[in-house]
Structure 1
Amino acid sequence: MLASLTLVEPPQGGAPILPHNVEAEGALLGALMIDNRLIEDIALKLRADHFYEPLHGRIFEQIRRLIDKNMLATPVTLRPIFEADEEMKELGGPAYLAQLTGSAAPIIGAKDFAEQIYDLAQLRALVGVGRSMVERALDTSDEVEPRKQIEEAEAALYRVAEEGGTENGVKSFASAAVEAVKMAEKALKSGGSLSGLTTGIQALNAKTGGMHNSDLMILAGRPGMGKTSLATNIAFNTARRYVEEIAEGVAEGQRTGAPVAFFSLEMSADQLATRILAEQSEISSEALRMGKISQQDFRNLARASAALHDLPLYIDDTPGLTIAALRTRARRLKRQRGIGLIIVDYLQLLTGTGKGGGDQNRVQEISEISRGLKTLAKELHVPVMALSQLSRQVENREDKRPQLSDLRESGSIEQDADIVMFVYREEYYVAMKEPRDGAEDAKSQETYHDWQKHMAEVYGQAEVIVGKQRHGSTGKVKLKFDARITKFSDLADSHYLPEQRG
């Protein structure tokens, strides 16, 4: 048998020997050849490349292949495969396979051997990441981008940490049913409408059941509709609810609030903060920016700022993020801050990993981004809300209410999303059609009065149109919108109009 090593001091002046245990590898292979059923317990986690000795990795792979074909994997059935293997010849030929099965004792400890082999492989991977980090950091050429290196190093470390997660990939129906019952219990305790995180808007919660883990939600709208305002309101409401629940002692599994990560690729962090402060102090954003506030307003502002001091809302306003960089930063925030909701404003400002221009490449890039966001939602087990622009074809229709076909640049956004919501404010379009006051003649006056009546009907109102929902029906949710402080809230008589199951 090959020499046994775990971690040996390097020879004088030589490179360090990587952590490994060749004897454990041989013992595991012997146990597998004696009892093929053992493969069922370890094959999901262990791969051929986890073996330090390449020959052992090849033997493991061939054992797995034979068992997959419902064939016995024994020294006899493996012998023809390794007749010509040069490394096997150095160890005495295929007789080495029989040597590995020389003792039945390893069968008892097979799982422990597999665990150690896997752990040592992770340590070797960690050493590899460390070496790569050092080598790249020592490179001082003009093309070096330190921040990019840091992000790539974080991604590499995360891959090492998450490797082997397939052991949780398959769930029995019983365990899945338990999760479903817990979700129903959470909805029951919240009053019958909320099984996910709260949006802070009762009518929207009632329509969607809240924001659910692993869901990709798309919030779309034309410029001026208020999609960033709605996303900011939701981010604040979810983070504030988390603080309230911590103070109330609500158990972790029953919380409807969570820390929030807001990736703002369009607005700066201080602009977003201004919006939230305007909403909470009820001072217009414009007045705040221009300093047109009274002493009382300033006191209200100071009180709102103090109340928001410990709000678990984290804003990343780095421009031009790639989807890979965003995922790296989100993982870091999940690990360090325990975020439970991710908001991206907005999807089209992210970039993919591909190069080159052209409409076709852009469509592929958007597809990569939407798939990446859905993968991130599942990977971190949190809801991800991505804002999206709509195509200009909306403006060419008489009815300006958006549809799924208006999603800009890629049908994959609709395909990858679990929920697609559109923000629509009729007030915006009615205001643009304002006629002259009509003082000249009766017809003009009538036209102006009709416009005033229409404007009064839609003033301060907004709709969130649920165009797709995997968990329930589509339809409209009517909300109040205060443009002065960019705040969405429930209407006094808020209700939603169900249309069809989605």
Structure 2
Amino acid sequence: MAKKSIKVKTAPNSKESEMMVLGCALTSTNGLNTSADSLDDTDFYYTEHKKIFKVVKEAYKKDKPADIHIVAEELKRQDLLDDIGGVAYLTTLAQFAGTSAYIEEYIQIVKDKSLLRKMLDATDVIEKVVLEEPADVKLALDEAQNSFFQISQSVNSHEHLLIKDLLSGLKSEKGIPYLKEIQERQEKFLERGPDDPRITGISTHFVDLDKLINGFTNSNLMILASRPAMGKTALALNFAENICFKNDKAVGMFSLEMTAEQILHRILCSQSEVESEKIKTGSLDGQEYQRIVSCVNSIQNKKLIIDDQPSLKITDLRARARRMKEAFDIDCLIIDYLQLLTGSGTLRSMENRQNEVSEISRMLKNLARELNIPILCLSQLSRRVEERQGHRPMMSDLRESGCLTADTQIIDADTGKPHTIKELAIRKEQKPINVFGIDKDLKIKKRKMTKAFYSGKKQVYRLTTQSGREIKASTNHPFLKLEGWTRLDQLQTGDKIAAPKNLEVNWEEIKSIKPLEIEDVYDATVEDVHNFVANDIFVHNSLEQDSDLVFFLLRREYYDPYDKPGQAELIVAKNRHGSVGSVNLTFRKELARFENFTPIHTSEMEEDAFSESPQS
């Protein structure tokens, strides 16, 4: 049987438009500037056009002209002139050039064709992966989705924006001019009553919290952390209830621990104000039953979407969240909780929990930006809180990374001046400084250290390398091996760790690791790469780096039933875009419900607590 002939279709392209763009670039300054700002050589389909435009753009970058003679000389120097058809072809392009006033139209055609080819390439890759029948189908699906997302991001990205573009509403969510948006805000402000919280984010209906953080803001990653049994799931559900039922917004929730039925039971208990035990056992009076009926009727058509699939990979969660956004247009996402998520399953993320948590927090922040919604992720704090007097959480309790001693030296990358981490931490004003960090490609670059801070007291160890470099750090502080970031307590003599040498990465062999006394320790926040050079060695920290806000929940009555019973403190320990502080909340344990703080209500609880105390 004869083979059926298959017609191979040429990939999308427009030779005429490519020639128009190159002709304009070779013959006019406007054409050169506009095309070099908008295109790369990879946007061209024809090989000769790629080579010509690469030379043209290099000339533009060096602020040099790019006429036929100069471009021909450079192509000749690179031994490429004959490959593109010689000076004759450059002359043809110059004659082919259209009016430079229409250069943007030609550029757009070239960009559109380039985009279609990228989509075609992505489908080819996906087809190849599918035909190989991968073991992890969900991971393959997520990577396929991500490949198209990266293409869409490149379409919507901007290298820079003029202030007039911003004022015209180019980046506005509503697509309206800035002054018009201000007018609308002003009108809404005047329409509101005196009790309105007057915030621009999504109201949580916890009045003091809304005033402090301006509500939940789009693209923010928020961490709500506490020790077990403090009520973080209850508070997260109260946020969901208020945003969904009172604001009439769509809320998505990933519950990796509790089932959807358990979540529903808690919501009904909270909303109907009927005690949990009564609902479980059915011991309800008529009035309580009617409250539950009323509650069911009022919430059944609201958009609260619950995904209770346990043991999710972060890539699975991301794919499910994207589908949730597409199907229900969710306005907010809640994840309960971080420690039950696992990494993508890549070799790097599996090396240790440090890499895994870094990957998860980074991907959650990227997801918040991609979906343009606030994401609240719950997290469990370390046991160090229990050992501390007063049990007040600190930022160091949140991290899965460690801390450095006060005398650790950090170099200002701009001035070369050394500072101890303690000197940076005790500054009254935490002005950012540039420090050196290492990116995923092992390139050393300047990065902003936005703050340094005290992290408490810990036992520390002295790590010494064969060349004599020394650093004192806690056991869980990560250092970079060839295999990835590794905690100090997982390192051993003979391992090699990364250190800078003339702006190149040098691998230093560990000579010794010796235990020392308990000392005051400090840590720092560094943008983007989440690591920095300390004592001439690369060190890392993770989770809170990616978050925009960090909340700690503390109920003192958990440790002492007579210490502020019925009262909780929600601590805003980090707020990248505003104020930090704390707010008081009322906690009604029988309903697993937090409310705006009412001193009268909590004083009644205090009386009950003391009336139950044993007689002396």
Residue 214 (structure 2) aligns with: 209
1:52 is matched with which residue: 45, 58, 61?
A: 45
Q: By how many angstroms is 1:267 displaced?
A: 2.3
Q: By how many angstroms is 1:133 displaced?
A: 3.7
- CA deviations 1:22-49 (Å, max 9, x no partner) are 2211211111121233354455553322
Confirm or deny that 1:233 pairs with 2:238: yes
Question: Given that residues 252 and 332 in structure 2 are in contact (C-alpha distance below 8 angstroms), is that contact kept between their aligned partners in structure 1?
Answer: yes
User: Matches of residues 26-425 of structure 1 in structure 2 within 5 Å?
Assistant: 26-43=19-36, 45-83=38-76, 89=82, 92-140=85-133, 143-167=134-158, 170=161, 172=163, 175=167, 181=182, 185=186, 191=196, 193-243=198-248, 258-293=249-284, 297-353=288-344, 354-355=346-347, 361-410=352-401, 411-425=541-555
Q: By how many angstroms is 1:287 displaced?
A: 4.1
Deviates more, 1:349-358 or 1:122-131: 349-358
Question: Given that residues 398 and 544 in structure 2 are in contact (C-alpha distance below 8 angstroms), is that contact kept between their aligned partners in structure 1?
Answer: yes
| CA pair 43-413 structure 1, distance change in 2 beyond 3 A | farther
User: Matches of residues 481-500 of structure 1 in structure 2 within 5 Å?
Assistant: 481-493=587-599
Return the alpha-carbon distance in structure 2 between the equivalents of residues 169 and 340 of structure 1: 28
| CA pair 154-288 structure 1, distance change in 2 beyond 3 A | farther
Residue 440 (structure 2) aligns with: none
Question: Given that residues 52 and 84 in structure 2 are in contact (C-alpha distance below 8 angstroms), is that contact kept between their aligned partners in structure 1?
Answer: no
Question: Given that residues 25 and 33 in structure 2 are in contact (C-alpha distance below 8 angstroms), is that contact kept between their aligned partners in structure 1?
Answer: no
Q: Secondary structure at the match of 2:552?
A: strand
Q: By how many angstroms is 1:221 displaced?
A: 0.7
Q: By how many angstroms is 1:16 displaced?
A: 2.5
- CA deviations 1:385-420 (Å, max 9, x no partner) are 221211110000121121112113044333332221
Q: By how many angstroms is 1:138 displaced?
A: 4.0
Q: By how many angstroms is 1:159 displaced?
A: 2.5
Question: Given that residues 183 and 195 in structure 1 are in contact (C-alpha distance below 8 angstroms), is that contact kept between their aligned partners in structure 2?
Answer: no
- CA deviations 1:317-353 (Å, max 9, x no partner) are 3333333333333333333332222222222333334
Q: By how many angstroms is 1:268 displaced?
A: 2.5
Return the alpha-carbon distance in structure 2 between the equivalents of residues 58 and 92 of structure 1: 11
- CA deviations 1:265-292 (Å, max 9, x no partner) are 2222222222212211223334444555
Q: By how many angstroms is 1:309 displaced?
A: 1.9
Residue 478 (structure 1) aligns with: 584
Q: Secondary structure at the match of 2:560?
A: helix
Letter in 2 for 1:355: L
Q: By how many angstroms is 1:463 displaced?
A: 0.9
Return the alpha-carbon distance in structure 2 between the equivalents of residues 199 and 171 of structure 1: 35
Residue 459 (structure 1) aligns with: 565
Question: Given that residues 13 and 114 in structure 2 are in contact (C-alpha distance below 8 angstroms), is that contact kept between their aligned partners in structure 1?
Answer: yes
| CA pair 12-182 structure 1, distance change in 2 beyond 3 A | farther
Q: Secondary structure at the match of 2:30?
A: helix
| CA pair 471-155 structure 1, distance change in 2 beyond 3 A | closer
Give the structure with the higher percent strand: 2
Q: By how many angstroms is 1:65 displaced?
A: 1.8
Q: Secondary structure at the match of 1:319?
A: coil
Q: By how many angstroms is 1:482 displaced?
A: 1.4
Return the alpha-carbon distance in structure 2 between the equivalents of residues 480 and 27 of structure 1: 69
Letter in 2 for 1:491: F
| CA pair 26-320 structure 1, distance change in 2 beyond 3 A | farther
Q: By how many angstroms is 1:493 displaced?
A: 4.8
Give the structure with the higher percent helix: 1
Return the alpha-carbon distance in structure 1 between the equivalents of residues 281 and 80 of structure 2: 77
Question: Given that residues 32 and 66 in structure 2 are in contact (C-alpha distance below 8 angstroms), is that contact kept between their aligned partners in structure 1?
Answer: no
Q: Secondary structure at the match of 1:105?
A: coil
Return the alpha-carbon distance in structure 1 between the equivalents of residues 98 and 24 of structure 2: 8
Give aligned-pair identity as a percent: 34
Question: Given that residues 217 and 418 in structure 1 are in contact (C-alpha distance below 8 angstroms), is that contact kept between their aligned partners in structure 2?
Answer: yes
Return the alpha-carbon distance in structure 2 between the equivalents of residues 153 and 415 of structure 1: 28
Letter in 2 for 1:487: R
Return the alpha-carbon distance in structure 2 between the equivalents of residues 269 and 39 of structure 1: 59
Return the alpha-carbon distance in structure 2 between the equivalents of residues 370 and 44 of structure 1: 34
Q: Which structure 1 residue ranges, 5 or more long, are not aligned?
A: 1-10, 244-257, 432-453, 495-502
TM-score normalised by structure 2 residue count: 0.65
Return the alpha-carbon distance in structure 2 between the equivalents of residues 68 and 348 of structure 1: 47
Question: Given that residues 187 and 195 in structure 1 are in contact (C-alpha distance below 8 angstroms), is that contact kept between their aligned partners in structure 2?
Answer: no
Question: Given that residues 259 and 338 in structure 1 are in contact (C-alpha distance below 8 angstroms), is that contact kept between their aligned partners in structure 2?
Answer: yes
Confirm or deny that 1:426 pairs with 2:556: yes
Deviates more, 1:285-294 or 1:122-131: 285-294
| CA pair 189-326 structure 1, distance change in 2 beyond 3 A | farther
| CA pair 347-206 structure 1, distance change in 2 beyond 3 A | same
Return the alpha-carbon distance in structure 2 between the equivalents of residues 183 and 370 of structure 1: 35
- CA deviations 1:185-232 (Å, max 9, x no partner) are 466765454121111211211221111122222211111111111111
Letter in 1 for 2:584: K
| CA pair 267-188 structure 1, distance change in 2 beyond 3 A | farther
| CA pair 46-236 structure 1, distance change in 2 beyond 3 A | farther
Return the alpha-carbon distance in structure 1 between the equivalents of residues 204 and 30 of structure 2: 49
2:6 is matched with which residue: 10, 13, 18?
A: 13
Return the alpha-carbon distance in structure 2 between the equivalents of residues 82 and 307 of structure 1: 73
Question: Given that residues 197 and 210 in structure 2 are in contact (C-alpha distance below 8 angstroms), is that contact kept between their aligned partners in structure 1?
Answer: no
Q: Which has the higher contact order (CA 8 A, sep 6+)?
A: 1
Return the alpha-carbon distance in structure 1 between the equivalents of residues 578 and 180 of structure 2: 18
| CA pair 179-430 structure 1, distance change in 2 beyond 3 A | farther
Letter in 2 for 1:63: V
Question: Given that residues 72 and 81 in structure 2 are in contact (C-alpha distance below 8 angstroms), is that contact kept between their aligned partners in structure 1?
Answer: no
Question: Given that residues 225 and 425 in structure 1 are in contact (C-alpha distance below 8 angstroms), is that contact kept between their aligned partners in structure 2?
Answer: yes
TM-score normalised by structure 1 residue count: 0.79
- CA deviations 1:87-145 (Å, max 9, x no partner) are 753553243222211144242322111111211222222233334444444444xx533
Letter in 2 for 1:463: E
| CA pair 55-317 structure 1, distance change in 2 beyond 3 A | farther
How large is the RMSD of aligned CA atoms in angstroms?
3.1
Residue 480 (structure 2) aligns with: none
Deviates more, 1:272-281 or 1:282-291: 282-291
Question: Given that residues 262 and 342 in structure 1 are in contact (C-alpha distance below 8 angstroms), is that contact kept between their aligned partners in structure 2?
Answer: yes
Question: Given that residues 55 and 88 in structure 1 are in contact (C-alpha distance below 8 angstroms), is that contact kept between their aligned partners in structure 2?
Answer: no
Q: Secondary structure at the match of 1:315?
A: strand
Letter in 2 for 1:417: S
Letter in 2 for 1:373: L
Letter in 2 for 1:118: K
